[in-house]
A and B are shown apart, each in its own frame.
Chain A
Amino acid sequence: MKYSANGLYVEEYRKCINCGELIYDRGLFYTNEDGSKIGPFSSVWDMEWYKERGSRQNAKSLVRIKDWRLEEQS
């Protein structure tokens, strides 16, 4: 969320591009092979889930899901 300098209104409703949660700080980004910045993300878990979309769809069986709570706790 990007608030106006005076704090009275919202200038941008900023969301994690993976899970859709509102992001109140800058958020996380990663850089693509072509140099473009991808994000914002609300967590490393979201970034990884987003990156692995293609491989997950092609997977024959379920890949173990990393626990998002471990990241939150650390």
Chain B
Amino acid sequence: MNLVDMNIVDKRLKSIAEEMGIVLMKTSYSTIFNEGRDFTCGVADDSCELVASADFQPAQVGGMPLVVASIIKEIPLSEMDEGDVIIHNDPFRGGMHTPEHTLIKPIFFEGEFFGFSVAIGHIAEVGGMVPGGFPGEATEVYQEGLRVPPVKIQEKGKDVEPVWKIMLTNHRTPRQNHGDIRALISAVNLGESRIIDLIREYGPDRYRQICNDLKDYAERRMRAEIISIPDGIYSFEDYMEDDGVTDQAYKIAVDLYVSQDKIVADFSRTDKQSPGPINAVLSVAWSATYNAILHLTDPQIPRNSGAFRPIKIVAPPGKLVNADFPAAEVGGNTETHIRICHTVVGALAQAIPERAFAPDGGTHSNFLFGATDERTGNYAVCYDFTGAGWGGRPVADGHNATNCINGNSRMNPVEVFETRFPWRFESLGLIPGSGGDGRYRGGLGMNKVLTCLSDNMEVSFMSDRQKIAPWGTQGGGKGQNGSVLIRRKSSQDFVTACEDSNKTSASKFNRIGFRKGDQISISSPGGGGYGDPKDRSAEIRARDQDEGWV
């Protein structure tokens, strides 16, 4: 192993993955890509293992190895040619959730196979029972949009038109989706081209060797980190407060077996899958567990398949963390991922409190809507989210109004949002006092109030943490719950979706009609606090008061 070459190639591969993401962002049509950056890009080697990934969406990084492996099971390498691009979003065949589309392009150099460039992106509108792809009351995957098994969308560099036609016929925003899928293809094309340059520069044998070295190096680094965690069995439980269909909470339980340089994360005690759409599929359980452990270990460990080798995940079928077909699952990758991740963090906090942190607000407050925009005559669909408070950390307060642990996304700027969609912002701001108290307090959630400017608006919602608050750790206090409230033009009062439209859940619901002048108020939760509140100094508390944080 040549450490110098290996480090240079590691940074080059990561840089390629980042450049792929920038191309994707700059060439896409939807705000979820070009503002939200709800995508990630990576590179797999000739053993189809991940060798590099960019730090865009943590929710997608840990799921990438499984989704690539599942594609190869269905389309063997012997059936792949130069110029092919494969698309796949089926959550029950290795994908993450219905909107998450994975595109992979095989990389050939002088006729030999060297791996894949990979781009995963959240296509905001995929058909199904609501505009925006998050039906909060879905009871089966068929209602959540079009599933696409691994198929070639380009063959030897040319479009496979029937695939495009079937997909775009089933989406409400075909023009936007066409642009977004082209952007994903541009990303994998760029990745292919840059990797070929790298292979040419280092030579095929050396490139292969360095990829293997990189994975082995990441594995060794991760094993060294795990050895520093005291051996033991660490258990923790948390809940999704309801599933949009039944008014009951669903438990996520993990038993973490730490032994020498290995971790088994056993989710066998987790509740059975739910009727509603909060179920996670296996790639989400993998990704959320890896995400938690990556947050608690050295950030310099390369994010590749080698780092995941010492971690075994036991997620029995039929559980909330590995739902069986044809369960509704769209909330699993956005909402339940967060809860799985913080359950693992909560378990490890008992072993390594000096590294653990309190949970964030635990929901993206996924706000979905579709309407004809009278200004343009076009039908517009949007997937929008609201930053929540991050949990207090061993060294600092939690960040305010930030995308939760499985996302690294930006919120839509007000100006972009108002230009592209028929809503007007009335207010947008932090919620003082919403972070949990503690030596280091939780970050603040935020509130936004919007007025509808369309007479045919349909709103759906997928969130959580309106009943069960984000917990504190090491003696810290709870964060404040979030809310979603509706005020009709004719009314003075904001009310929940249960009161307005007789919905089962105030946090997960389908297509509520809005008319011009109706308003929605979205409040995200605060983060949990870290450490005993008594240890927060009087001086810092006075500063909190003066600056309006509490």
Interface residues of A (CB under 8 A from B): 1, 10, 13, 15-22, 24, 45-46, 49, 53, 62, 64-65, 67-69
Q: Which residues of B contact A67 (CB under 8 A)?
A: 262
Q: How far is the CA of A46 from the CA of B73 in the complex (A)?
A: 21
Residues of B within 8 A of A10 (CB): 92-93, 325
Would you list 11 pairs from A and B whose C-beta atoms are within 8 A, ordered by A residue? A10-B93, A13-B324, A18-B314, A20-B282, A20-B317, A22-B73, A24-B73, A45-B312, A49-B266, A62-B232, A65-B257
Q: Are B317 and A17 touching (Cβ within 8 A)? A: yes
How many angstroms between the C-alpha atoms of A53 and B233 in the bound complex? 13
Other A-B pairs beyond A20-B315, A67-B262, A69-B309, 16, CB < 8 Å: A10-B92, A10-B325, A13-B92, A13-B93, A19-B312, A20-B317, A20-B322, A21-B282, A22-B282, A49-B264, A62-B231, A62-B257, A64-B259, A64-B260, A65-B259, A65-B262
Among A18, A22, A45, contact of B316 (Cβ-Cβ < 8 Å): A18
Chain B's closest residue to A49 (CB) is B314
Q: Please indicate the chain A residues that have their CB under 8 angstroms from the CB of B264 in the complex.
A: 49, 65
Query: What is the CA–CA distance of A24 and B94 in the complex, to the nearest angstrom?
Result: 12
Q: How far is the CA of A61 from the CA of B322 in the complex (A)?
A: 28
Answer whether residue B268 sits at the interface, using C-beta atoms and an 8 A cutoff. yes
In the bound complex, CA of A10 to CA of B313 (Å): 25
Taking a contact as CB atoms closer than 8 A, the residue among A1, A20, A69 that contacts B314 in the complex is A20
B285 at the interface (CB under 8 A from A): yes
The answer to whether A68 and B312 touch across the interface, beta carbons within 8 angstroms, is yes
- If A64-B259, A65-B262, A65-B264 touch, whether A19 touches B232 (CB-CB below 8 Å) is no
- B412 contacts partner chain A, Cβ-Cβ < 8 Å: no
Hey, which chain A residues are within 8 Å of B257, CB to CB? Answer: 62, 65
Tell me whether B70 is interfacial, beta carbon within 8 Å. Answer: yes
Chain A residues with CB below 8 A from B231, complex form: 62
CB neighbors of A among B174-203 (8 A)? none
**Contact yes or no, B268 A15, CB < 8 A:** no
Chain A residue numbers with a CB within 8 Å of B260 are: 64-65
In this complex, the member of B92, B309, B317 whose beta carbon has the largest number of chain A beta carbons within 10 angstroms is B317
Residue of B nearest to A68 (CB): B312
Does B314 lie within 8 Å of A19, measured CB to CB?
yes
Note all chain B residues with C-beta closer than 8 A to A65: 257, 259-260, 262, 264
- Report B48 CB to chain A, min CB distance, Å: 14
CB distance from A42 to the nearest CB of B (A): 11
Beta-carbon nearest neighbor of A53 in chain B:
B268
Interface size class of B (residues with CB under 8 A): 20 to 34
Q: Select which of B70, B259, B313, B322 is within 8 A of A15 by beta carbon.
A: B322
**A62 and B94 contacting across the interface, CB-CB below 8 Å:** no
When A and B form their complex, which 5 residue pairs have the shortest distance between CB atoms, in order from nearest?
A: A20-B322, A65-B259, A20-B315, A15-B317, A13-B325
In the bound complex, how far is the Cα of B316 from the Cα of A19, in angstroms? 5
Closest to A10 in B: B93
Q: Closest A-chain residue to B314, C-beta based?
A: A19
Closest to B263 in A: A65
In the complex, which residues of chain A have a beta carbon less than 8 angstroms from the beta carbon of B317?
A: 15-17, 20
Q: Which residues of B contact A13 (CB under 8 A)?
A: 92-93, 324-325
Q: Is the CB of B73 within 8 A of A17?
A: no
Residues in chain B near residue A16, CB distance under 8 A: 317
CB-CB < 8 A to A69: which residues of B?
Answer: 309
Task: With both chains docked as a complex, state the minimum distance between the C-beta of B28 and any C-beta of chain A, in angstroms.
Answer: 31
Q: Report B239 CB to chain A, min CB distance, Å.
A: 21
- Among B259, B282, B322, point to the contact of A62 (Cβ < 8 A): B259
0/1 per residue, B251-267, Cβ < 8 Å to A?
A: 00000011110101010
Q: In the assembly, what is the distance between CA of A1 and CA of B266, in Å?
A: 23
Q: Chain B: which residue is nearest A3 at the CB level?
A: B74
Q: Which residues of B contact A15 (CB under 8 A)?
A: 282, 317, 322, 324
- Inter-chain CA distance A1–B260, complex, in Å, is 34
Chain B residues within 8 Å of A20, by CB: 282, 285, 314-317, 319, 322
Q: Given A15-B317, A64-B259, A65-B262, does the pair A22, B94 have CB atoms closer than 8 Å?
A: yes
User: A67 CA to B261 CA in the complex, in Å?
Assistant: 9
Q: Give the distance to chain B from A33, nearest Cβ to Cβ, in Å.
A: 22
Q: Which residues of B contact A1 (CB under 8 A)?
A: 73, 93
- A69, chain B: closest CB distance, angstroms: 6
A60 CB to nearest B CB, Å: 11
- Measured in the bound complex, the distance between the Cα atoms of B282 and A64 in whole Å is 26
Q: What are the residues of chain A within 8 A of B319 when measuring CB–CB?
A: 20
Residue of chain B at shortest CB distance from A19: B314
> In the complex, what's the smallest C-beta–C-beta distance from A53 to chain B, in angstroms?
7
* Bound-complex Cα distance A17 to B231 (A): 26
Q: Which A residues are CB-close (under 8 A) to B268?
A: 53
Contacts of B313 in A (CB 8 A): 19
Cα(A69)–Cα(B322), bound, Å: 22
| Smallest beta-carbon distance A40→chain B, Å | 10
Which B residues are CB-close (under 8 A) to A49?
264, 266, 314
Question: Is B322 in contact with A22, judged by CB distance below 8 angstroms?
Answer: no
Report the Cα distance A20→B318, complex, angstroms: 9
Q: Are A19 and B315 in contact (CB under 8 A)?
A: yes
Q: Closest CB of chain B to A54's CB: distance in Å?
A: 12
Residue interface mask B268-302, A partner, CB < 8 A = 1: 10000000000000100100000000000000000
- Nearest residue, chain B, Cβ from A8: B149
Query: What chain A residues lie within 8 Å of B94 (beta carbons)?
Result: 22
> In whole angstroms, how far apart are the Cα atoms of A46 and B264 in the complex?
11
Instruction: Chain B residues near A45: list those with CB within 8 A.
Output: 312
Name the distance in Å between B427's Cβ and chain A's nearest Cβ. Answer: 45
* Contact residues in A for B309 (Cβ distance below 8 Å): 69
Residues in B whose Cβ lies below 8 Å from that of A24: 73
Q: Give the residues in chain A near B282, CB-CB below 8 Å.
A: 15, 20-22
| Residue of B262, B266, B312 contacting most chain A CB atoms (<10 Å) | B312
